[in-house]
Amino acid sequence: MTRKTLKVALLQETHRGSRDANLDAIEAGLREAAAAGAELVLLQELHNGPYFCQHESVDEFDHAESIPGHSTERLGKLAEELKLVVVASLFEKRAAGLYHNTAVVFDRSATIAGKYRKMHIPDDPAFYEKFYFTPGDLGFEPIDTSVGRLGVLVCWDQWYPEAARLMALAGAELLLYPTAIGWDPNDAQAEKDRQRDAWITVQRAHAVANGIPLLSCNRTGYEPDPAGVGAGIQFWGSSFVAGPQGEFLAQASTGSRELLISEIDMVRSEHVRRIWPFLRDRRIDAYADLLKRFRD
């Protein structure tokens, strides 16, 4: 990469009540980001609707869409008009009974530059994603764009150092995480603090361990359990941009909609990797056991 700096934007949003209302809010955010000089915009996970995975219901599959489809057409036109690289996140219907949690990248064009299907699929209270999503089959392959090679991953992927490492080994120059994560409102404040701190810390560690900047865009606001069984989720926002030593370049609030804008020094990754040459010192001859589920 020859560019020295890159201005990025993260659109931290709440569910606005419908797909079209959410897309209207995204359009307004993209226009604001472009006016501020941003070239790359990261959207939150499953931004078209509520986080429906709080329950298991076959009716939720009705909200999935094909790629390309309605949303990619609208977002692609905006990317082309505003000359933006946009990373979107959609509930993909690939075929009857086959659905994915899919990130889609546009490179200043209505044409899709690439996509990534979420590889790690959680199945936890209020996050019943295995009911809806087939694990990704596109691997950990960065997507080449006019602003650099993007290592796009999605939410639960952000807890796995293997995913970040494989993207870095394939030449990713940035790590990007569309995210939907929050608190159980019934948890004690100390537990809430631990969870949020862990989420931030593990991602900053990926930036450090790989010597590249990282962008994480989370949703915010309270969303009730559609089934009325659970306490709902209070999404904690806190979207952030970290540099190649894990340093905060920008960080959003926990509880409000926000367009977070930051400028990244793209030359620093090379400098950091020279003084902290983790890739050089990896003992690839001794890591075979990583391919095992567990060492009994």
Whether residue 27 lies in the annotated active site: no
Q: Is the separation of the CB atoms in 143 and 154 below 8 Å?
A: no
- The Cα–Cα gap between 216 and 25 comes to 19
Q: Which of 39, 45, 60, 92 is catalytic?
A: 45
Nearest 5°: phi and psi at 236? -95, 10
Yes or no: say if 60 and 132 are a contact pair by the CB < 8 Å rule.
Answer: yes
Q: What distance in Å separates the CA atoms of residue 70 and residue 206, rounded to the nearest whole number? A: 34
Please identify which of the residues 39, 60, 115, 155 carries the catalytic annotation. 155
Q: Is 53 a catalytic residue?
A: no
Q: How far apart are CA 241 and CA 147, in angstroms?
A: 16
Catalytic residue among 13, 92, 115, 118: 118
Helix (H, G, I), strand (E, B) or coil at 95: strand
- Compute the distance between CA of residue 104 and CA of residue 91 in angstroms, rounded to an integer: 11
Residues 6+ apart with CB under 8 A from 124: none
Q: Is 118 a catalytic residue?
A: yes
**Which residues form the catalytic set?**
45, 118, 155
